[in-house]
Structure 1
Amino acid sequence: MPRIPQAFIDELLARADIVDLVGSRVTLKKQGREYSACCPFHAEKTPSFFVSPQKQFYHCFGCGAHGTAISFLMEYDNLDFIEAVEELARRAGMEVPRENGPGHQDTQKLQRLIAAQEAAANHFSENLRRHPEAINYLRQRGLSGEIARDYRLGFATDARDHLIRALSGSFDEQELLNAGLTSRGDSGPPHDRFRGRIMFPIRDNRGRVVGFGARLLGSGKPKYLNTPETPVFHKGQILYGLYEARKASPRLEELLVVEGYMDVIALAQFGLRNAVATLGTSTTRDHLERLFRVVQRLVFCFDGDRAGHEAGWRALEQALPLMRDGRQIRFLFLQEGEDPDTMVRREGPERLHECIRQSRPLSDVLMEGLRDRHDISSREGRAALGAEASRLIRDMPEGLLRAQIINELAQLAGVTAEQFEHGMGQRETDSREEPARTPQPPRPAPIARRQRLEITPVRLALSVLLDQPSLARELGDTTWLGKLNTPGVQTLAQVLETLGQHPHLTTAGILERWRDSETGRHLLKLAQWRPPPSEEDSVPQLLQDALKRLRQQYLQQRTEDLLARASRAALTDDEKAELKTLLASKG
């Protein structure tokens, strides 16, 4: 990863307004010196999510989510660190500088790949305007110019090297191959991958084109063609239409997951701009995690034939480990041979809305699917059902939904809930030969269960400094802290040294300097501290008191050290004078 200069991150966080950033995605309400909202990272009815403009920091007392503006973009928009910094810089009108380092050339290559995709999207868009046959096709499908514009639809001509000739002045042959825009056979020069097709640019979370879907305009095979896997395009992770859905409605509550680009486009034409599509692949865990970062309610729409039901079951299997309380998934199986595109054109959007309202919850689909797959009239069939059910739900998060499902599964299997859970635990122990499952990160414990940190002078001093970093300017010499032997004091010394070198550093700037470290995780916890309203004026005194207690510990430690050394050997004159002063101060 190329190194972004620390000074730039400090300046970026100093300019960023976390209230404005979070408020663009979540409805905030002023509450004292902070802002509150229902947490965007877990389902709740009573606001426990707070944003501090003073600290440039957010924290949820319900699920424990916390961090800086960079962290919020990473979590809410599902960005990596570099992408979050770039997005924050874009909002601030700043250009991200980079220092050469490990991975710098790789990042430049990725940027070139994305630049090639953007250039290709512009080329295809211009082509669409020049080719009436492509425009007529879209009109016959009922699409307007507005939809074509919003989704950046385009057209690839049937010429063998039309795109190559258009982009050859900006990108070399290998770059176009690496971007998946061209292909090469066993012999001969490269040729355009997409020819004679309507082009559907596929955009990432920031709206950058990273690949394409393409539909053949005439007859032939394959009807649909995607960009192959590239360093910036992974079919198992990206969803068509997700960027456009979020852009159309920043306060999305529900997403409709369909199977094709034309379904997404057709629904958008009829005003349903909350549809996304997987790219010719089954729904993956990565897909679901990205979707649940945006909304808490999903509706999967499948054909009503056997293939559609099998696809729905695969999606259910992927979803169960992510189904914590508050999240909802429903399934809509259309009539056989029908898809959202044809249905909305023939019967209108209200009929589809009605079908969505009548869609079935994941738990119902799970129960019916298990009953259909096993003969519950026999003991053996009920045991087999229990075995499959155990496999499906063993990674499901603890909660009310899981408990309800277990109770009903136990009834189907003809056992008590306790027996079912006991058997599930045994099967998990005996499943060493099963493929390894992707471990899920631990969920934050409810706030009532979390262990309270003991208030020590070090923690109090750090909490105050994270609340008001400017107080460090008034402390004078604190280098003696580096000689004190007590837990956490080295972190305090490092924070004070950093604030001495960068006196205008914000709370967010401090936290970002220790990102992804054990020290950083400790500082994040301490940054949640807020002084009681009645004691806000006494916060500077709290810092002074904490340092006074640490100073007393240091003097006691230094006295004991000198006395121990004097018992072993003669002290120097300076040491004798220091010891005399220390003993006198104690008397």
Structure 2
Amino acid sequence: MRFPPSLLDDIRARLPLSEVVGRRVTWDRRKTQPSRGDFWACCPFHQEKTPSFHVDDRRGHYKCFGCGASGDHFKFLTETEGLSFPEAVELLAHDAGVALPKPDPREEVRQQRRAGLADVCEMAARFFERELYGPAGQAARTYLERRKLANETLREFRFGFAPNGRDALKRHLAEKGVEEAIMVEAGLLIRPDNGRPTYDRFRNRVIIPIQSDRGQVVAFGGRTLDPDGQPKYLNSPETPLFHKGSMLFNLHRARQPAFEAGQAIVTEGYLDAISVWQAGIRHVVASLGTAFTEDQIARMWRLAPEPIICFDGDQAGVSAANRAVDRILPALKSGYSFQFAFLPDGKDPDDLIQSGGREGFLAETAKALPLSEVMWQREAAGRDIATPERKAALEKSLYDLIATIRDERVRKRYQLEIRLKLSNLFWEASRGTRDGKGRDGKSRDVTAAAQRVEKPNSPHFSTERTVCGLCTRYLDLFERHLERIARLRFNDDLHEGFKAELCRLAVDLEDEAVASIFETLDPRFYEILNEVMADREKGQPEAGFHPNWTRLSGRLQVLNFNPSSDFIERCFEHFLDELELGQLEREMEQDLETSGEDIDEQSWQRIQALKQEVMRRREELGRRDHELAEEARAIRAAHKAEGMRRAG
């Protein structure tokens, strides 16, 4: 149904946006001013501690200044509850007391037809349920017991059994007055091409109803009980009710748990999803065995900004993951991506649940890799890059993939990340044959240079090194604060050189092929780059480095406890403030030394004003440092409590 703009405006006018959004968030009392229609809260679309999500009731518009999410009443419901636009309009019209126009006759016929098919599917679901608990369902019940599915789970998911006969369901529905043509249209019967009688699609199978976003039965999945039966799993065909490419199994149950957890798990099969759900992980959906479509990707993102997709660890699972990468890349957008969990070879989610329980499964999903890393490993792992031509071929294959990303901001971020990884890879590969000379023509022993830095040699060494690491690991922070970072002058020459080369790679050399410029970068650039690249690996600090300063997660240990992106950015800005203040103090000292005793009144006043500004900013930094430290302790405590809860 098409809705006239006047109708949508009427709904917006009658229903304050804050009322719609307020069902999902808690308003910040300090910043919110209801009398002005001005509301602030922590964003429901990404994790944050400081409210950056703003609702303007006067304009009927929301915007998050952290992740960029924005929209109106209808978009908020489609993004947070997984509703289609017409469903969102219908729901809000009901809440606002606005009457919807009657559909045109053709649409009304289509709706009645779909309603009729839904009624038939519901009748079939009840028939299958009854058969499961009857005499003919004994083998099916035995199979489900072997799968360790509890009675409560069977009832919740409405498991059933299709008898091993040609027309058991057909006869049952016919007795209820259902026409044969309707049964065929609903996907319940198969009509042979040779003119023979229709027969039941599902026979001698355990049946799992497939439900719509609102819990309505629209199709079925059947698992054969015949050891030699093929196919092992059989789904309903495409019907006016059921479109595999736009549906996710269990979406209607997972929506609220996913919102509360801030995460979603995606399995390849619905029985795996049911097993994960039974283990208490309720934010799980399944893809119905199809290659991901843009509709499914959008639905997953309505559940969580970075869903975790589970793949088997064998070659088939890796191939499926690679196909998913190709499907997902074009649809990527700011703040939204996927993580890939490769399960131990030969095991699926149900196997992990049976052997290791909930914690065993969660331990594997905790190892999930970001999409960018899966793409990188697919193209670069084991690649022969011994010649310039092979280096160029690898670079081209990666750039061709990145070029499919439609979102310009995401595409540029991927390009920078890949340029850093390629630079590091090419540098490492060529170290054995390099003549040891840097771009200044002087010989360099990179290992020896690295070992020279044994511990902090300046008051700001730790902060500078942390900023370098954060710039490299969180490229979005680097890009957002690029101009500010470029203006800074680091005390430590190694850090200053790294910062300068990183800015040069991102700006001046943006259009240059990495294969042609990686050796022009200062060799010391790779010291910190290597350190950050290896940061997630477990092990001892590299020889020659002070143990407290080798790796980013050792210097900023809160990173080991999965803090929110908002907290990381506030830490990053705090470190930049600290370095800028240090730079201001150095400038003030230089002014005093230069002036000596011949200081005039104007210079004296300027220096005194600088001193007051330094004192003010130092006090502000101290206060904020205390706040961040307290928040970091709370993050650690919450992480520890969650670990104890899982262990218990």
**What TM-score does the superposition give when structure 2 sets the normalisation length?**
0.58
Higher helix share: 2
Specify the code of the residue in structure 2 equivalent to 1:282: A
Instruction: Look up the match of 1:77.
Output: 81
Separation in 2 of the partners of 1:411 and 1:380?
15
Of 49-58 and 209-218, deviating more is: 49-58
Q: The residue matched to 2:248 in structure 1 has which SS?
A: coil
Specify the code of the residue in structure 2 equivalent to 1:105: V
Of 18, 35, 39, which residue of structure 2 is paired with 1:35?
39
Separation in 2 of the partners of 1:145 and 1:209?
20
Of 125, 138, 142, which residue of structure 1 is paired with 2:148?
142
Instruction: Look up the match of 1:24.
Output: 23
Instruction: Look up the match of 1:212.
Output: 220
Q: How many angstroms does 1:378 deviate by? A: 2.3
Separation in 1 of the partners of 2:335 and 2:298?
14
Q: Mapping of 1:472-511 within 5 angstroms?
A: none
Q: How many angstroms does 1:372 deviate by? A: 2.6
The alpha-carbon distance between structure 1 residues 5 and 293, as it changes in their structure 2 partners (threshold 3 A), is closer
**Is this contact kept in 1: 2:79–2:302, CA < 8 A?**
yes
Q: The residue matched to 1:348 in structure 2 has which SS?
A: helix
Specify the code of the residue in structure 1 equivalent to 2:186: A
Asked if residue 195 in structure 1 is aligned to residue 196 in structure 2, the reply is no
Of 191-200 and 228-237, deviating more is: 228-237
Asked if residue 393 in structure 1 is aligned to residue 394 in structure 2, the reply is no
Separation in 2 of the partners of 1:126 and 1:13?
46
| Residues 166-224 of structure 1: per-residue CA shift (max 9 Å, x gap) | 33335322222122111111222222111121112222222222222111123211110
**Is this contact kept in 1: 2:265–2:310, CA < 8 A?**
yes
Of 234-243 and 98-107, deviating more is: 98-107
Q: Mapping of 1:231-246 within 5 angstroms?
A: 231-246=240-255
Of 264, 268, 278, which residue of structure 2 is paired with 1:259?
268
Q: How many angstroms does 1:341 deviate by? A: 0.5
Specify the code of the residue in structure 2 equivalent to 1:188: R
Instruction: Look up the match of 2:534.
Output: none
| Residues 497-523 of structure 1: per-residue CA shift (max 9 Å, x gap) | xxxxxxxxxxxxxxxxxxxxxxxxxxx
Q: The residue matched to 2:303 in structure 1 has which SS?
A: coil
Aligned length: 422
Instruction: Look up the match of 2:326.
Output: 317
Separation in 1 of the partners of 2:168 and 2:22?
45
**Is this contact kept in 2: 1:304–1:337, CA < 8 A?**
yes
Separation in 1 of the partners of 2:215 and 2:26?
23
The alpha-carbon distance between structure 1 residues 54 and 412, as it changes in their structure 2 partners (threshold 3 A), is closer
Separation in 1 of the partners of 2:366 and 2:380?
24
**What TM-score does the superposition give when structure 1 sets the normalisation length?**
0.64
Instruction: Look up the match of 1:564.
Output: none
Structure with the bigger RCO (C-alpha within 8 Å, sep 6+) is: 1
RMSD: 3.3
Separation in 2 of the partners of 1:334 and 1:182?
37
Q: How many angstroms does 1:339 deviate by? A: 0.7
Separation in 1 of the partners of 2:69 and 2:312?
40
Specify the code of the residue in structure 2 equivalent to 1:162: A
Asked if residue 105 in structure 1 is aligned to residue 109 in structure 2, the reply is yes
The alpha-carbon distance between structure 1 residues 15 and 414, as it changes in their structure 2 partners (threshold 3 A), is same
The alpha-carbon distance between structure 1 residues 216 and 71, as it changes in their structure 2 partners (threshold 3 A), is same
Q: The residue matched to 1:251 in structure 2 has which SS?
A: helix
Instruction: Look up the match of 1:183.
Output: 190
**Is this contact kept in 1: 2:309–2:340, CA < 8 A?**
yes
Separation in 2 of the partners of 1:73 and 1:45?
23
The alpha-carbon distance between structure 1 residues 147 and 309, as it changes in their structure 2 partners (threshold 3 A), is same
The alpha-carbon distance between structure 1 residues 322 and 38, as it changes in their structure 2 partners (threshold 3 A), is farther
The alpha-carbon distance between structure 1 residues 384 and 55, as it changes in their structure 2 partners (threshold 3 A), is closer
The alpha-carbon distance between structure 1 residues 376 and 412, as it changes in their structure 2 partners (threshold 3 A), is farther
Instruction: Look up the match of 2:311.
Output: 302
**Is this contact kept in 2: 1:43–1:296, CA < 8 A?**
no
**Is this contact kept in 1: 2:218–2:241, CA < 8 A?**
yes
**Is this contact kept in 1: 2:159–2:206, CA < 8 A?**
yes
Asked if residue 66 in structure 1 is aligned to residue 71 in structure 2, the reply is yes
Specify the code of the residue in structure 2 equivalent to 1:65: S
Separation in 1 of the partners of 2:100 and 2:125?
25
Q: The residue matched to 2:154 in structure 1 has which SS?
A: helix
Specify the code of the residue in structure 1 equivalent to 2:33: G
Listed as ranges, the gaps of 5+ residues in structure 1 are 425-587
Instruction: Look up the match of 1:518.
Output: none
Separation in 2 of the partners of 1:421 and 1:197?
58
Separation in 2 of the partners of 1:3 and 1:56?
18
**Is this contact kept in 1: 2:185–2:239, CA < 8 A?**
yes
Q: How many angstroms does 1:67 deviate by? A: 1.5
Instruction: Look up the match of 2:127.
Output: 123
Q: How many angstroms does 1:98 deviate by? A: 2.3
Of 404, 420, 439, which residue of structure 2 is paired with 1:408?
420
The alpha-carbon distance between structure 1 residues 21 and 155, as it changes in their structure 2 partners (threshold 3 A), is farther
Specify the code of the residue in structure 2 equivalent to 1:142: K
| Residues 321-355 of structure 1: per-residue CA shift (max 9 Å, x gap) | 34444335322222221111112101222122222
Separation in 2 of the partners of 1:23 and 1:230?
37
Q: How many angstroms does 1:286 deviate by? A: 2.6
Q: The residue matched to 1:240 in structure 2 has which SS?
A: coil
The alpha-carbon distance between structure 1 residues 114 and 49, as it changes in their structure 2 partners (threshold 3 A), is farther
The alpha-carbon distance between structure 1 residues 393 and 11, as it changes in their structure 2 partners (threshold 3 A), is closer
Instruction: Look up the match of 2:611.
Output: none
Q: The residue matched to 1:225 in structure 2 has which SS?
A: strand
Instruction: Look up the match of 2:170.
Output: 164
The alpha-carbon distance between structure 1 residues 5 and 386, as it changes in their structure 2 partners (threshold 3 A), is closer
Specify the code of the residue in structure 1 equivalent to 2:189: T
Specify the code of the residue in structure 1 equivalent to 2:219: G
Q: The residue matched to 1:25 in structure 2 has which SS?
A: coil
The alpha-carbon distance between structure 1 residues 245 and 321, as it changes in their structure 2 partners (threshold 3 A), is same
Separation in 1 of the partners of 2:99 and 2:388?
67
Separation in 2 of the partners of 1:240 and 1:101?
32
Q: How many angstroms does 1:146 deviate by? A: 1.6
The alpha-carbon distance between structure 1 residues 384 and 54, as it changes in their structure 2 partners (threshold 3 A), is closer
**Is this contact kept in 1: 2:114–2:240, CA < 8 A?**
yes
**Is this contact kept in 2: 1:237–1:287, CA < 8 A?**
yes
**Is this contact kept in 1: 2:63–2:69, CA < 8 A?**
yes
Specify the code of the residue in structure 1 equivalent to 2:160: G
Specify the code of the residue in structure 2 equivalent to 1:352: F
Specify the code of the residue in structure 2 equivalent to 1:118: E
**Is this contact kept in 1: 2:276–2:349, CA < 8 A?**
yes
